[in-house]
Chain A
Amino acid sequence: MTLLNTMDRILYESQRQGRISFYMTNYGEEGTHVGSIAALDNADLVFGQYREAGVLMHRGYPLDLFMAQCYGNTSDPGKGRQMPVHYGCKDLNFVTISSPLATQIPQAVGAAYAFKRANTNRVVICYFGEGTSSEGDAHAGFNFSATLECPVIFFCRNNGYAISTPTSEQYRGDGIAARGPGYGIQSIRVDGNDVFAVYNATKEARRRAVAENQPFLIEAMTYRIGHHSTSDDSSAYRSVDEVNYWDKQDHPISRLRHYMANRNWWDEEQEKSWRKKSRKRVMEALEEAERKLKPKLQFLFSDVYSEMPWHIAKQQTSLERHLKQYGEHYPLAQFEK
């Protein structure tokens, strides 16, 4: 949680300085990520929305690769094609993030169905926000998961806002959890700022989803402390006092810190040293990511299909010829040859 928080602060600043084009922080929702993923097996497949970087961090995704994706450099497994924070990792079973909201929900159900047929004892967890829950794909996913009896955990982060839209304009029912029973889905609401509550709910949902081949819905109540993204100024639609309350009085990180301090598992000294160490690690990764070149230009054209059709090959050749003549007008020096 704290390492993610440190990375968030540094990458947020780096966007403000124009070093990366875009960023989305996870402030206030770190507990939902770590609490839930700790309750799963590493083989369980994760479909996310975009504010779940803590899931990847908990599974050991290297800082270098977070940075590589945000910078779109040669080390980015995504080959620099997507906007920052659209992470993905095959080895850690974290399906690549995409921008269209809720599209991952019915997909997660399909993957869970395939797992059920393959008898793998794997579950799928699918994260999304309360705003996303209004999309048609959320309805599709919930309903399919129930009628087709899929081992999937729907994990809704209800943080009160979808960009500027408060939940009062998002729905008039009792949040998202109350929709679950209408689909025949076992549902629960948890305090999203309490890692143990999140962990317990997820652990039990996983146990039963695998054993009974049925979906579970967890709604984690939390608060989006940061701006929606670096393209948003949230003071335009909510008060600073409101934000401060959740940041200072009820934060998942400080709550876990109290717990650990009470048990003498953590003290000020360790806190200081960890802060320093994590900041150093993030800064080193950032500086290295910044020094690296962008990937080869051929990656603009590959992976559209598994093979390259004639017309795309022709377009690639056309760009190469163009750059021979007009290369000086393009940022060629930033790209690997």
Chain B
Amino acid sequence: MALAGLALRRAAVSSLRLRLATGSTPRRRAAHFAFQPDPEPTQYGQTQKMNLFQSITSALDNALSRDPTAVIFGEDVSFGGVFRCTVGLRDKFGKDRVFNTPLCEQGIVGFGIGVAVTGATAIAEIQFADYIYPAFDQIVNEAAKYRYRSGDLFNCGSLTIRAPWGCVGHGALYHSQSPESFFAHCPGLKIVIPRGPIEAKGLLLSCIEDKNPCIFFEPKIMYRAAVEQVPVEPYTIPLSQAEVLQDGSDVTLVAWGTQVHVIKEVAVMAQEKLGVSCEIIDLKTILPWDAETVCKSVAKTGRLVITHEAPVTGGFASEISSTVQEECFLNLEAPITRVCGYDTPFPHIYEPFYIPDKWKCYDAVRKMINY
């Protein structure tokens, strides 16, 4: 069983690597989102065109330059990683700082906790978010509870776990998952998901510096597809702060990761086809999340659509929905709507039908306005 699983996983990784190497992605259909770059940040000095994997590398480079205790480890990170996120770092910082571990996720996270307990900075990589579950015990029972259970005698605050996340067009059950809500139920963790290269670098540097164990999910479909002008020098973007990307007056749309670009398109569609003004919020941090920004927006618009790729039942949208309902009951003019993945495993050939695409989100907005 284990061997077969491993072989499959390796095959998936190497096929992906193959495509990266040839640079030609066989297109069965257009992507379900159109990446829209953020404006170039001017306050952090010189910028450079980077895609998402390059902005991750840039953040890791900055972190290792500034902090001599920082180490990066995981499966296949030495040669640059299966998604190229650690390219060049071993040569620059040494093999004791950027190194491969044995193929064992519970070991990777347990090891990272141990490094962090001594006060050193540990940046662990899990190759796909889908394979984080073998480390679930180390994350939930250990990392999240270290400070609390010891009365703050010990902590693993300098641990960050990075993992590629979300659908990728053809990843099927084990290269597509969005497991954030499993972790959202765990006090003690921070869970962060960026929407593009600029956000990825700033949020990742915040996670690495934060005094709490953080899980940083990287939307892998954007590793190469998303390109922006990213500051070369280190900068941070605060955790637990959502961002209003577009002001609107009729409906609030909340998403994170790739799905932010989906709701940006939906907002344009709603304006053009329905004359509806949408307020767009990127949540960015799943735990502890920024309820204030979301509630303030809903108090104004009176309507809320939340969308995520993960299955609907037990998804993080349910947490947002019930909190907003408690806080904004008198402002709500329609039931809060969740547009999410179905309650099935993530399928291979049915992916176009599974994901909560712009048409599903648009339809939710349309129905909500007519409620």
Q: Does A257 contact B (CB under 8 A)?
A: no
On chain A, the residues within 8 Å of B148 by CB distance are 81, 303-304
Does A137 lie within 8 Å of B151, measured CB to CB?
no
Q: Does B155 contact A (CB under 8 A)?
A: yes
Partner-binding segment picked from A14-22, A108-116, A235-243, A278-286: A108-116
Picked from A47, A96, A113, A302, the residue with its CB within 8 Å of the CB of B149 is A96
CA distance A106 to B146 in the complex (A): 15
CA distance A45 to B114 in the complex (A): 11
Partner-binding segment picked from B81-89, B99-107, B250-258: B99-107
On chain B, the residues within 8 Å of A77 by CB distance are 150-151, 153
The chain A residue sitting closest to B104, CB to CB, is A140
- Closest Cβ of chain A to B138, distance in Å, is 6
On chain A, the residues within 8 Å of B288 by CB distance are 305, 309-312
A106-B102 contact in complex given A88-B150, A90-B153, A111-B114, C-beta closer than 8 Å: no
Picked from B113, B117, B157, the residue with its CB within 8 Å of the CB of A306 is B157
Does A303 lie within 8 Å of B111, measured CB to CB?
no
Q: Does B110 contact A (CB under 8 A)?
A: yes
* Residues of B126-152 contacting chain A, CB below 8 A: 134, 137-138, 141-142, 145-152
Q: Does A86 contact B (CB under 8 A)?
A: yes
Does A114 lie within 8 Å of B115, measured CB to CB?
yes
On chain B, the residues within 8 Å of A100 by CB distance are 137, 141-142
On chain B, the residues within 8 Å of A137 by CB distance are 106-107, 110, 137-138
Does A98 lie within 8 Å of B102, measured CB to CB?
no
Q: Does B182 contact A (CB under 8 A)?
A: no
* Residues of B351-367 contacting chain A, CB below 8 A: none
- Closest Cβ of chain B to A60, distance in Å, is 16
Picked from A82, A306, A310, the residue with its CB within 8 Å of the CB of B212 is A306
CA distance A81 to B150 in the complex (A): 8
Q: Does B292 contact A (CB under 8 A)?
A: yes
Does B107 lie within 8 Å of A140, measured CB to CB?
yes
Does B142 lie within 8 Å of A109, measured CB to CB?
no
Q: Does A211 contact B (CB under 8 A)?
A: no
CA distance A304 to B148 in the complex (A): 5
Partner-binding segment picked from A31-39, A141-149, A202-210, A244-252: A141-149
CA distance A309 to B240 in the complex (A): 9
A114-B151 contact in complex given A144-B101, A148-B99, A148-B101, C-beta closer than 8 Å: no
On chain B, the residues within 8 Å of A311 by CB distance are 288, 291
Does B118 lie within 8 Å of A106, measured CB to CB?
no
Does A304 lie within 8 Å of B187, measured CB to CB?
yes
On chain B, the residues within 8 Å of A76 by CB distance are 151
Does B111 lie within 8 Å of A110, measured CB to CB?
yes
Q: Does B211 contact A (CB under 8 A)?
A: yes
Does B115 lie within 8 Å of A110, measured CB to CB?
yes
CA distance A117 to B188 in the complex (A): 28
The chain A residue sitting closest to B145, CB to CB, is A98
Q: Does B69 contact A (CB under 8 A)?
A: yes
- Closest Cβ of chain A to B153, distance in Å, is 4
- Closest Cβ of chain A to B284, distance in Å, is 15
Does B120 lie within 8 Å of A106, measured CB to CB?
no
* Residues of A93-141 contacting chain B, CB below 8 A: 95-96, 98, 100, 103, 105-115, 117-118, 136-137, 139-141
Picked from B111, B117, B153, B157, the residue with its CB within 8 Å of the CB of A144 is B111
Q: Does B198 contact A (CB under 8 A)?
A: no
Residues of A within 8 A of B (CB): 45, 47, 76-79, 81-82, 86, 88-90, 95-96, 98, 100, 103, 105-115, 117-118, 136-137, 139-141, 143-144, 147-148, 299, 302-307, 309-312
8 pairs, CB–CB < 8 Å, chain A vs chain B: A88-B150, A89-B153, A90-B153, A95-B150, A106-B113, A112-B114, A304-B147, A306-B147
**Among all A-B residue pairs, the 9 with the closest Cβ atoms:** A110-B114, A106-B110, A140-B107, A96-B150, A309-B288, A107-B114, A306-B211, A110-B111, A111-B114
New contact pairs (18) apart from A98-B141, A110-B117, A305-B188, CB-CB < 8 Å: A76-B151, A77-B153, A81-B149, A81-B151, A89-B153, A96-B154, A106-B109, A107-B111, A110-B116, A111-B114, A112-B114, A114-B114, A115-B118, A136-B104, A144-B104, A303-B151, A312-B187, A312-B288
Residues of B within 8 A of A (CB): 69, 71, 96-97, 99, 101-102, 104, 106-107, 109-120, 122, 134, 137-138, 141-142, 145-155, 157, 187-188, 190, 211-212, 240, 288, 291-292
